[in-house]
Amino acid sequence: MSDKVVLPRLDLPGQKTHWTVVAVIGGGVLVLLMAAIFLVVVHKQQAAQEAVVRAADARAKEAAAQVEKMKLEAAAAERARAAAAAAEKAKSAGPVAAGDAASKAGSAGSDGIQARPDRRRRATKPGRKAGRANIPKLGGGEPSEATRKSDASVDALLRGLK
């Protein structure tokens, strides 16, 4: 048993992979790699576009909120101005009403009959001025300072969004 057994070397042609099979597998791997790279690039671009759209929506919502806030502030300022004007009218109308009552009492004649008021003067509702001031302006007139300021601010804000 000291002899070594040598087996013959069997080299069959069917055992090696053909070069075309290697080329097809290599091409498939290359195509899959390129598809993966393409999908990653497309996903990043879509994510960037969605971020831009979200940012634009957020800016539009913020601008709309600022416009609403300015409208509310303008309305509050207008109400405060109207309340101040009404208070001023009430303050100035108080002494006038007392003086008017005194003048009516003083205008009574010696026989107790009051003199007729001037025909050109019209009777008005309390708290209103006589004459053309009672007629409201329809769409005309100069806008208030707060309205002009808020309009300019809104215009500037909208120009910034473009």
Instruction: Describe the crossing of helices 19-106 and 145-161 by its angle, rounded to 10 degrees.
Output: 170
112: left (phi over 0), alpha (psi -120 to 50) or beta: left
Tell me the pLDDT tens digit for each residue of 50-95. Answer: 999 999 999 999 999 999 999 999 999 999 999 999 998 888 876 5
* C-beta of residue 49 within 8 angstroms of C-beta of residue 41: no
Structure tokens at 47: 């994510």
pLDDT average per 10 residues of sequence, the chain (162 residues): 80 76 96 98 97 95 95 94 90 63 52 53 55 53 61 79 76
Distances (CA, A) of 76 to 60, 66, 82, 103, 139: 24, 15, 10, 40, 21
pLDDT of residue 13: 65
